[in-house]
């Protein structure tokens, strides 16, 4: 039996819940057909999230999911340029023609990249550092010396996959203009894995302290707000502290989804809720960091 | 003896060099191991950790390279050099997190205390660096402090390995 899971037409961190809801319980009770034919727009979060879904299915020995590509040629070319299909090849049974493309685009800070081990983190940091110097400075008007912080934040987010998730993950970053919401350029970095998630990672050391409130939301809060770690080493937990500081410094947003909760540090320009609980379950952890171009003086 | 250790070189000398960036804990552990070996082999009294030409430095690596080196009680004094602003921030953060401090040499500026040091310690550090060896009484005179305050502050500098005590005098670190 095959069950169709429709990818939302505008597929980002918020509409991701629709996808998670459509997948339903894990592991799914049927082979999945991920139907992206109607997709008109996708964020880096959507791309890495889909790969994580497929990876989670693989990790749980589920049948290889089917994937139908966006019908809109331009959209499909973007998916190809982003690097999605290179990594989707072994994780989905692809239906449709992968467009030929020149790698990358003028707005791609980091093509979809796997994070399996520390050498992948180094590679991602090197790529984003190179591209940030070009894109962030030119398009967002951020000073060259500040671009280092993009790499630092990305490095910490990616390391969490290697150190905590118990699985592999994916990262991508892109700049684009948010006309409706902000009227400015933004850089969006998305990191997603299909691993154990915040709750299971932190449970053994922190569940008892938090007591009845313990759950996915409380676990993300412990990691992001209290900067706790699953390791007893007192030097741990500083990575998310750095990301948080970076985000606040740039009036940006960080949203972390894990299991059935999403916790965000929400800037004034966004209308997200700080904590969304009881949202449809999705394996692992998904992080999105959004940094807007500074407002014109 | 003062030994300058170029971290970019240590990065290249790690068994599997990955990039010019000091990122990830395993990379930090490998570089810290290189520093510890160099200090042990040379028996230096002062190690200058030179960050020149290092790309990114993330918190995890700053924690592994600098904080854990100091926490482990390395046998020599440690001074940091060649740090860019973003790297200074990362090191300062991890040092504060652990209640540690270290001296940084910043271009176009004198030696500077990174990490956890209160205003008294920073002023005392500046005096010792500028004036050279001095007793707590001399510091108290210079800053208009009570002698107990000066003695306590100088003892704090020594405890954080920001100065050296020899007899009743407090010496600045022999900076390059």
CATH of residue B164's domain is 1.10.10.10
pLDDT in tens, B105-152: 987 778 999 999 999 999 999 999 999 999 999 999 999 999 999 999
**% of chain A with per-residue pLDDT over 70:** 98
* CATH architecture, domain defined by A2-292: 2-Layer Sandwich (3.30)
Q: Using CB atoms, pick whichever of B18, B60, B97 lies closest to residue A119.
A: B18
Is B122 in the A-facing interface, judged by CB distances under 8 Å?
Answer: no
State how far the Cα of A248 lies from the Cα of B11, in Å rounded to an integer.
31
Local confidence band at A105 (pLDDT 50, 70, 90 cut-offs): low
Q: What is the pLDDT of residue A103?
A: 61
Q: Are residues B68 and B123 in the same domain?
A: no
Whole-prediction pTM value?
0.88
Q: Are residues B136 and B73 in the same domain?
A: no
Is A227 in the B-facing interface, judged by CB distances under 8 Å?
Answer: no
Q: Count how many residues are written for chain A.
A: 297
Encode B24-57: b = buried (16+ Cβ within 10 Å), e = exposed.
bbbbbebbbebbeeebeeeebebbbbbbeebbbb
Q: Are residues B89 and B168 in the same domain?
A: no
Terminal C-alpha separation, chain B: 10
Contact A169, A44 (CB under 8 A): no
Decide if pLDDT at A106 tops 80.
no
| B73 vs A263: which has the higher pLDDT | A263
Averaged pLDDT, B63-85: 93
Q: Do the Cβ atoms of A239 and B58 come within 8 Å? A: yes
Q: What is the pLDDT of residue A297?
A: 66
Mean pLDDT value across chain A: 90
Is the torsion defined by CA of A7, A10, A14, A15 positive or negative? negative
Q: Are residues B103 and B170 in the same domain?
A: no
Q: Are residues B24 and B92 in the same domain?
A: yes
Averaged pLDDT, B12-26: 85
Q: Are residues B75 and B40 in the same domain?
A: yes
Q: Are residues B171 and B144 in the same domain?
A: yes
CA distance B104 to chain A (A): 19
Encode A229-251: b = buried (16+ Cβ within 10 Å), e = exposed.
bbeeeebbbbbbbbbbbbbeebe
pLDDT in tens, A31-57: 999 999 999 999 999 999 999 999 999
Q: Are residues B21 and B73 in the same domain?
A: yes
Q: Are residues B102 and B124 in the same domain?
A: no
Hey, of B14, B21, B92, which one would you mutate to test binding to chain A, going by the most A CBs within 10 A of its CB? B21
Least confident of A144-148, A241-245, A247-251, B92-96: A144-148
State whether residue A34 is helix, strand or coil. Answer: strand
Encode A32-65: b = buried (16+ Cβ within 10 Å), e = exposed.
bbbbbbebebbbbbbbbbbbbbbbbbbbeebeeb
Instruction: Please count the other Cβ atoms lying within 10 Å of the Cβ belonging to residue B155.
Output: 14
Averaged pLDDT, B69-79: 91
Q: Where are the domains of chain A?
A: 2-292
Instruction: Please count the other Cβ atoms lying within 10 Å of the Cβ belonging to residue A75.
Output: 19
Can you give the residue range of the structural domain that contains B76?
1-116
Q: Are residues B56 and B124 in the same domain?
A: no
Q: Do the Cβ atoms of A118 and B27 come within 8 Å? A: yes
Decide if pLDDT at B48 tops 90.
yes
Q: Are residues B134 and B75 in the same domain?
A: no
Q: Are residues B28 and B89 in the same domain?
A: yes
How far CA B97 is from CA of A120, A220, A266, B113, B161, in Å, comes to 28, 21, 26, 15, 17
pLDDT in tens, B142-162: 999 999 999 999 999 999 999
Decide if pLDDT at A104 tops 70.
no
Local confidence band at A166 (pLDDT 50, 70, 90 cut-offs): confident
Write the CATH number for B24.
3.30.750
Q: Do the Cβ atoms of A155 and B56 come within 8 Å? A: yes
Domain boundary among B66, B81, B116: B116
Number of domains in chain B: 2
């Amino acid at each position: 039996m095959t069950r169709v899971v429709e990818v939302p037409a505008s597929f980002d961190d918020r509409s991701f819940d629709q996808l998670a809801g459509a997948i339903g319980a894990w592991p799914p009770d049927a082979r999945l057909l991920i139907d992206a034919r109607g997709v008109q727009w996708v964020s880096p979060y959507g791309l890495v999230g889909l790969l994580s879904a497929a990876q989670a299915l693989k990790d749980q020995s589920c049948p290889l999911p089917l994937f139908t590509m966006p019908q809109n040629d331009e959209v499909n070319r973007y998916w190809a340029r982003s690097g999605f299909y290179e990594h989707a090849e072994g994780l989905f049974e692809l239906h449709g023609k992968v467009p030929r493309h020149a790698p990358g685009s003028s707005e791609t800070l980091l093509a979809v990249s796997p994070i399996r081990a520390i050498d992948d983190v180094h590679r991602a940091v090197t790529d984003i550092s190179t591209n940030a110097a070009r894109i962030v400075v030119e398009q967002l008007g951020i000073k060259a010396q500040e671009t280092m912080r993009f790499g630092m934040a990305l490095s910490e987010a990616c390391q969490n996959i290697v150190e905590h998730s118990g699985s592999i993950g994916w990262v991508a970053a892109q700049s684009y203009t948010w006309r409706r919401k902000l009227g400015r350029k933004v850089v969006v970095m998305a990191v997603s894995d299909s691993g154990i998630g915040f709750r299971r990672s932190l449970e053994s050391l922190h569940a008892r302290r938090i007591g009845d409130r313990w759950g996915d939301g409380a676990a993300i809060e412990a990691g992001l707000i209290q900067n706790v770690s699953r390791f007893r080493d007192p030097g741990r937990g500083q990575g998310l502290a750095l990301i948080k500081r970076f985000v606040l410094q740039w009036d940006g947003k960080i949203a972390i989804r894990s299991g059935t909760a999403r916790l965000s540090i929400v800037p004034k320009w966004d209308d997200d809720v700080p904590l969304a609980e009881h949202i449809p379950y999705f394996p692992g952890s998904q992080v999105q960091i959004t940094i807007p171009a500074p407002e014109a003086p | 003896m003062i030994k300058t250790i170029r971290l970019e070189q240590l990065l290249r000398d790690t068994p599997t060099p990955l990039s010019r960036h000091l990122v990830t804990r395993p990379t930090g552990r490998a570089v810290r191991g290189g520093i510890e070996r160099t200090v042990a082999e040379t028996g230096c009294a002062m190690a200058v950790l030179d960050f020149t030409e290092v790309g990114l430095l993330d918190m995890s690596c700053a924690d592994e390279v600098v904080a854990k080196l100091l926490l482990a009680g390395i046998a020599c004094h440690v001074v940091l050099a060649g740090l860019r602003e973003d790297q200074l921030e990362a090191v300062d953060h991890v040092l504060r997190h652990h209640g540690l401090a270290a001296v940084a040499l910043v271009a176009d500026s004198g030696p500077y205390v990174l990490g956890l040091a209160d205003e008294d310690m920073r002023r005392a550090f500046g005096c010792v660096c500028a004036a050279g060896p001095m007793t707590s009484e001399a510091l108290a005179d210079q800053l208009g402090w009570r002698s107990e305050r000066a003695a306590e502050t100088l003892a704090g500098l020594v405890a954080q390995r920001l100065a050296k005590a020899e007899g009743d005098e407090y010496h600045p670190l022999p900076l390059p």
